[in-house]
Amino acid sequence: MFGLEPLHLILFAAFAAVVAGVWLMMDSASSRKSRAEERLEQIGRKRQSKQIVDRETNAMSRMIERATPALSAPLQPKTEKDKSKLKVRLANAGFRGEGAASIFLSMKLIGLIIGGIVGGVYSLVAGGFDINTLIKGVGCVCLFFFIPEIILMFLIRRRKQAIFLGLPDALDLMVVCVEAGLGLDQAMRKVSEEMKKSYVVIAEEFGLCNLQLQMGKTRAEVLQELGIRSGVDDLRALASILIQADKFGSSIAQALRVQSDAMRTRRQQIAEEKAAKTAVKLIFPLVLFIFPGIFVVLVGPAAITMVREMFPALNG
């Protein structure tokens, strides 16, 4: 009997430990928040931070919108033709907002002011207003004034290149959609949905065309605006072909296929032209960097031998 007492004590201690462990686990589980609650609180914090950022962004955008008309007033185009040209250029770069022109002109005016300040500070540091300092200051002002123009040209070129490279694939997808029984509007919607990740610019343009069609614009107007808005000649030709096919009732799929083949041929020709220009472009690095090294390696030992033979005194 006495031999069983230690066993009883061990069993009792083990039972007490299990009970205490279960109680601690239940207490920690009740005090700790569930995963769903933590996730909801995290989402709420993210939403609050996003709302704060959105409020700050909206306040900044409103401030910019209020300030840009006054800043851009001295540089505003005087005629409607010049205004339309500026809007088309900004649309070619992807800026289609109402205040894009004012913001762009304001940036040019701000660049002019910054260039004047930098040129004036340089003149003071240089020690006087002589003719060379004046020319450098004027050059600095012109540089800062035309920086927005340079950036806009770069953005236009990059956007046109993206449209040109992705348009054949978009036309192939439109051909498949049209031959499957979809209309041109549904095919454009399908292209805008399927090409969001591969060709974002084309997806945005076709999505905007689809939105304009839903708002009641005619297909001819939408396609004409697409060609003007993009600034790509191939897209303008495509818009003209689609307008004619819709007007005369010809096969849209055949027109799309012909245009896609023509664009692929042109893209291949451009690649061949660049490959042919490679030999000419390699002349400059060859002459400046490779030929001097080869000349030294080939002619150097012979020149050293000739010098030693002609001037024996140098050998000693």
pLDDT in tens, 97-122: 777 788 888 888 888 888 888 877 77
Residues 271 and 168 in one domain: yes
Q: What does the pLDDT average to over 35-58?
A: 61
Residues 194 and 241 in one domain: yes
The residue count for the chain? 316
148-178 pLDDT per residue, tens? 888 889 988 888 888 888 888 888 888 888 8
Token pair, residue 50, equals: 């996003």
The percentage of the chain sitting over the pLDDT mark of 90, rounded to a whole number, equals 0
Tell me the CATH number at 257.
1.20.81
H or E element in which residue 182 lies: none
Report the distance separating Cα 189 and Cα 169, nearest Å: 15
Residue 178 lies in a domain: yes
Residue 52: the pLDDT is 60
243, 218 in Cβ contact below 8 A? no
Residue 39 lies in a domain: no
Residues 176 and 150 in one domain: no
What is the number of domains present in the chain? 2
Which residues form the domain of 90?
73-158
Most confident of 12-21, 129-138, 236-245: 236-245
Domain end, chosen from 158, 185, 211, is at 158
Q: Which residues contact 243 (CB under 8 A, 6 or more apart)?
A: 219, 220, 223, 224
Residues 240 and 198 in one domain: yes
Question: Using only C-alpha atoms, what is the Rg of the chain?
Answer: 36
191, 208 in Cβ contact below 8 A? no
Report the distance separating Cα 171 and Cα 151, nearest Å: 30
Residues 166 and 273 in one domain: yes
Q: Say how far residue 296 (Cα) sits from the centre of its chain.
A: 46
Report the distance separating Cα 117 and Cα 57, nearest Å: 29
Q: What is the pTM of this model?
A: 0.65
279-304 pLDDT per residue, tens? 888 888 888 888 888 888 888 888 78
Report the distance separating Cα 167 and Cα 238, nearest Å: 10
Residue 26: the pLDDT is 57
Token pair, residue 249, equals: 């009732």
| Per-chain mean pLDDT for the chain | 76
Residue 125: the pLDDT is 75
Residue 283 lies in a domain: no
Statement: residue 67 has pLDDT above 60: no
Residues 138 and 180 in one domain: no
Domain end, chosen from 107, 130, 158, is at 158
Residue 15 lies in a domain: no
168, 264 in Cβ contact below 8 A? yes
More confident: 216 or 3: 216
Helix (H), strand (E), coil (C) string for 108-154? HHHHHHHHHHHHHHHHHHHCCCCHHHHHHHHHHHHHHHHHHHHHHHH
Q: Which residues contact 118 (CB under 8 A, 6 or more apart)?
A: 140, 144
Residues 171 and 259 in one domain: yes
Statement: residue 91 has pLDDT above 50: yes
Residue 301 lies in a domain: no
DSSP label of 300: H
Q: Which residues contact 190 (CB under 8 A, 6 or more apart)?
A: 173, 174, 177, 182
Domain end, chosen from 158, 190, 209, is at 158
Residues 176 and 244 in one domain: yes
Residues 267 and 219 in one domain: yes
Residue 13: the pLDDT is 66
The residue behind tokens 């399927």 is 194
Q: Band the pLDDT of 255: cuts 50, 70, 90.
A: confident
Residue 293 lies in a domain: no
Residues 91 and 180 in one domain: no
Residue 24 lies in a domain: no
Residue 120 lies in a domain: yes
DSSP label of 1: -
Residues 198 and 97 in one domain: no
Statement: residue 214 has pLDDT above 60: yes
Residue 37: the pLDDT is 62
